[in-house]
Structure 1
């Protein structure tokens, strides 16, 4: 066990998924080894370890809560080089290769690293250089406790990462949970029926609370309608209404009201519009009610007849197109044809039978579809034109009883 500070020492990650090692600068924050899995970094306890649980390997990175934001509140006037001996623009390019979730830990290396990793341009530059990779975030619960948790899956390595505990003020039923993302900022927004929204920031691996809505209510649909702006559709006193949250200013604003109510069956957001349907109901003698909120013009519209009547499953948006995984038969995939106002079958077969219901379905861009089933088994569909090719990733044994209630994708 080492007890002396480590200076000018190459700090090599415990996992080969990190593309390079780095040197701790000199002078540097004190890095002392205090236990086989704990490090002391700037008086902050950091756990950086590879553990096994039920014979499955997990990467766990945690920091002491008391000092996790120390650089945010005490920013220095001048910064040392990001990596001594390298121009900052080259050093910052090296940091772009850090895979999630390591940036959240490595912010603690120095104020310069913290500043570079928290820069608003970090994720944008990473995306432009095609260095971002998709990460699937799954909200799940145990049917006996109903306690909601969130895990992240790296589809390339099949590794799961457990997110920090969701700081819900009260326990809610998973059916009331709704979630949306602001992809450009690497953020997820979680709505659970109260007046506040929780935001998860991937770059810091932390949850926080946004500004309050006008009144507490359970959301029916959530989606990003423009850069950094999220529309939240709710029902109040038998009427549909929407509120717009600006993630840049942390402010809420009212939107148009529709004088009718809808029970949520499924919803999707595309091209600045939020589509909401209540689905078919027994005895199927009348078509389902549905509505479309146009955030660009702040108005409600009727959903096209063919879209409404053929929407019989969980939806996903992939490369600007609507898809559904049907809830009957072989759980086939269908594509919405806007020109003909009809749903067309996609070749390649339905969701593999190894992935069992209930489903959480989400599109991930780049032609990818993710279907999460019981036990957090994941079917990944590669969609090209009107054909899909499936791959199944089995969930860890420890997840066998978990049921998914929501899924989101961020490119990090």
Structure 2
């Protein structure tokens, strides 16, 4: 059906795309339109009479084209002028996806080259299982990738990179960078109060927290600070009860869990702290929680899971009632997922990115008896099933330093 604009006057009625309704090249949405689809179809009205896909209404065609994987955009631009207009701008493409309600998960991996140390971000489209690259971060060249801490606000499509350390002089940074998936660009934010590296980070109620880490004089810190992402301002909160750098951290039940982590061989028992933002107070982590935290963590439906690094890379879950860990039923991490690996999650899926950026996807199911078809086999509270997404050869020499899930 042809879309027309109804006029209350007797003036001529114009079709969408009429030259009298041409927008500026910067793509601005009109102040008032009738439907969401009208907003989307207005992305290039100057190309009158040229359908997006011959034989399809533009609104249906646009729904199809907005599902094209990012790694195919370059070749799609050469199809016609309207496709060039759609695929030639990442900001335009993802703005239209947002207008039309697309909300798919993407796995953003902060990686570095094993030989040169050069850092870059690679993105795995979890729907099409294809990889693409985003613009380089605006930071110093000689940095230690492991010294940064990355956090994300997934449903806002926002990613934050904080701190870090200059590798040739061991100088911690108070750098803060923000990446927005819709705009496909980085923004330099206000600096942290304290320069730090190898610290803990997490998001609680939309606020970003950082704690501990190494200072400019290479001593461990006990300070903690909080950032409001809306205005980028940092403010200090209560100090931890001990000075320590962080191996891993998690947000569980609205509290910030920070662990020093095990180091092989196990000479000393690790330290751990828990911060409650409601009381602005730190307390020592229970012994069972900190002693069994032997890997990288994710929180799924209010439960803390760890992909272990020392126990045949099994997945285990924390039992807060008994202050102990139990092994999740199922196989260990696939053998081609080599350390060092980085972990994140979405819904009931665990994403483990290993060396060369091979990815293991763990499907976590509650109640093992149900998961095995109710055959009466007794098991733990959870079970896991792993699948592997092999990375292309072009990513062979990359090692992950962080993995974050964003929606776009």
TM over 0.5: yes
CA–CA separation in structure 1 for the residues paired with 2:287 and 2:212: 23
Corresponding residue to 2:145 among 174, 186, 191: 174
Alpha-carbon contact 1:101-1:205 (below 8 Å) kept: no
Matched, 1:230 2:208: yes
Which residue does 1:342 correspond to in 2? 324
The Cα of 1:292 is off from its aligned counterpart by 1.3
Corresponding residue to 1:25 among 9, 12, 17: 17
1:391 alignment partner, SS class: strand
Which residue does 2:190 correspond to in 1? 211
The Cα of 1:309 is off from its aligned counterpart by 0.8
1:282 and 1:381, CA in 2 relative to 1: closer, same or farther beyond 3 A? closer
Alpha-carbon contact 2:145-2:401 (below 8 Å) kept: yes
The Cα of 1:270 is off from its aligned counterpart by 2.6
Corresponding residue to 1:88 among 35, 43, 49: 35
CA–CA separation in structure 2 for the residues paired with 1:360 and 1:115: 31
1:257 alignment partner, SS class: coil
Root-mean-square deviation over aligned CA pairs: 3.4
Which residue does 2:386 correspond to in 1? 390
The Cα of 1:248 is off from its aligned counterpart by 1.1
Which residue does 1:187 correspond to in 2? 158
1:272 and 1:116, CA in 2 relative to 1: closer, same or farther beyond 3 A? farther
- 1:187-241 CA-to-partner distances (Å, cap 9, x unmatched) read 00001332231000001111111112223222511111113x1111134564422
Query: TM-score with structure 2 length normalisation?
Result: 0.73
Alpha-carbon contact 1:174-1:405 (below 8 Å) kept: yes
Corresponding residue to 1:321 among 298, 303, 325: 303
Alpha-carbon contact 2:198-2:245 (below 8 Å) kept: no
The Cα of 1:107 is off from its aligned counterpart by 12
Matched, 1:293 2:275: yes
Where in structure 1 are there 5+ consecutive unaligned residues? 1-7, 9-22, 31-40, 43-69, 82-86
CA–CA separation in structure 1 for the residues paired with 2:176 and 2:85: 27
Which residue does 1:196 correspond to in 2? 175
1:90 and 1:372, CA in 2 relative to 1: closer, same or farther beyond 3 A? same
Q: Structure 1: which 4+ aligned runs deviate by more than 6 Å? A: 93-97, 105-109, 113-117
1:221 and 1:80, CA in 2 relative to 1: closer, same or farther beyond 3 A? same
Matched, 1:376 2:357: yes
- Tell me how many residue pairs correspond in the alignment: 333
CA–CA separation in structure 1 for the residues paired with 2:190 and 2:70: 26
Alpha-carbon contact 1:96-1:122 (below 8 Å) kept: no
Which residue does 2:130 correspond to in 1? 159
- Superposition map of 1:240-251 within 5 A: 240-251=222-233
CA–CA separation in structure 1 for the residues paired with 2:389 and 2:302: 25
Which residue does 1:34 correspond to in 2? none
Matched, 1:138 2:117: no
The structure that is strand-richer by fraction is 1
The Cα of 1:170 is off from its aligned counterpart by 4.4
1:170 and 1:270, CA in 2 relative to 1: closer, same or farther beyond 3 A? farther
CA–CA separation in structure 1 for the residues paired with 2:126 and 2:201: 25
1:26 and 1:252, CA in 2 relative to 1: closer, same or farther beyond 3 A? farther
CA–CA separation in structure 1 for the residues paired with 2:311 and 2:242: 32
Corresponding residue to 1:354 among 336, 341, 344: 336
Alpha-carbon contact 1:330-1:350 (below 8 Å) kept: yes
CA–CA separation in structure 1 for the residues paired with 2:31 and 2:85: 14
Where in structure 2 are there 5+ consecutive unaligned residues? 3-14, 41-58, 78-82, 165-172, 367-381
